[in-house]
Amino acid sequence: MVSKYKDREEAGWVLAEEVRRRARIHIKDKISKENAVVLAIPDEGIITGYAFAKELGLKMNLIVVGKLRVPGTDIGIGSITIDGTNVLNDAMINKYRLTEDKIDEIGRNEVNKMINRLETYEIAQINLESLKDKYIIIVDEGAETGYSVIGAIKSINLITIPKIIVVAIPTASFNAIMNINRYTQHIVCPRIIDSFSFQVRDSYEHYHKLDEKTVLKYIEKIKNENILYTTE
């Protein structure tokens, strides 16, 4: 297991090298910008995704996933796709006694936030149908429960049939890896922690929440450095 990452960019470099090594062993085709696309989960996943894609010479874009939380807290109960499909953590829903109506309300609010983010970030408006028969690499800064990554996988599978979906995350709880493994067995994660108290921030020496200004700055970098994947 690797030690703590200095920051999200270093995590992206480490991930890139690990995917490069795994690809040599497990994938017959050479991963290239012609057959592979990186999809980063914003907000926090954009820096890791940028560093990862640039290191491998791949094109990238964003895939927006809504995070469902217990109202008034940061406690996750699942995720939601842009079309309103829920991926729910039943144990947490039962623990907090959330009714179906309350879950629907949380979901509607999150979809509205996702639409606003799509309009703000612009490049997240990707045509997933164009990813048919491609290697899709989903990147995030880490996974505590895995439900955001699962939401991204379900979003893709609802629209298209990729060659392979690879999940590349710098760090995750053992429970998150087990959850994600139900949807894809192609998981690259150098730092897996078997602890119920696991938090993504604990795997980084320097960690902070990203504001909209920082996300937009990286979107400009992605555009200016010609690594943006588009269908135009």
Dihedral (CA of 118, 119, 120, 126) sign = positive
Take residue 133 and report the two structure tokens written for it: 């028969």
Report pLDDT for 81: 83
Question: Which amino acid is present at 28?
Answer: K
Take residue 45 and report the two structure tokens written for it: 């996943």
Per-residue confidence band for 27, with pLDDT thresholds at 50, 70 and 90: low
pLDDT tens for each residue of 172-203:
999 999 999 999 989 999 999 998 889 999 99
Report pLDDT for 125: 57
Report pLDDT for 158: 86
* C-alpha–C-alpha distance, residues 232 and 229, integer Å: 9
Q: Is residue 214 part of a domain?
A: yes
- Cβ–Cβ < 8 Å for 67, 30: no
Q: What is the mean pLDDT of the chain?
A: 90
Q: Is residue 232 part of a domain?
A: no
Tokens 């470099």 correspond to: 13
pLDDT exceeding 90 applies to what percent of the chain?
67
Q: Is residue 100 part of a domain?
A: no
Outline where DSSP puts E strands in the chain: 36-40, 59-62, 66-69, 76-80, 86-88, 135-139, 164-168, 171-173, 187-188, 191-193
Q: How many CB atoms lie within 10 A of CB 108?
A: 12
- Which DSSP symbol is given to 215? H
SS3 (DSSP) at 155: helix
pLDDT tens for each residue of 84-143:
888 898 988 999 999 999 999 999 999 998 888 888 887 655 778 888 999 999 999 999
Q: Is residue 104 part of a domain?
A: no
DSSP secondary structure string for all residues of 27-92: -SSPP-TTTEEEEE-TTTHHHHHHHHHHHHT-EEEE---EEEE-TTS--EEEEE-TT--EEE-HHH
Q: Is residue 92 part of a domain?
A: no
Q: Is residue 105 part of a domain?
A: no
- Mean per-residue pLDDT for 34-45? 93
Report pLDDT for 33: 85
Report pLDDT for 61: 93
Structural domain count, the chain: 1
Category of 164 on φ-ψ map: left (φ > 0), alpha (ψ -120 to 50) or beta: beta
Give the CATH number of the domain where residue 154 resides: 3.40.50.2020
pTM: 0.91
Q: Is residue 52 part of a domain?
A: yes
Report pLDDT for 28: 62
* C-alpha–C-alpha distance, residues 229 and 126, integer Å: 8
Q: Is residue 35 part of a domain?
A: yes
* C-alpha–C-alpha distance, residues 52 and 66, integer Å: 23
Among 110, 101, 62, residue whose Cα is nearest residue 83? 110
pLDDT tens for each residue of 52-67:
999 999 999 999 888 8
- The domain in which residue 207 lies consists of 8-64+124-224
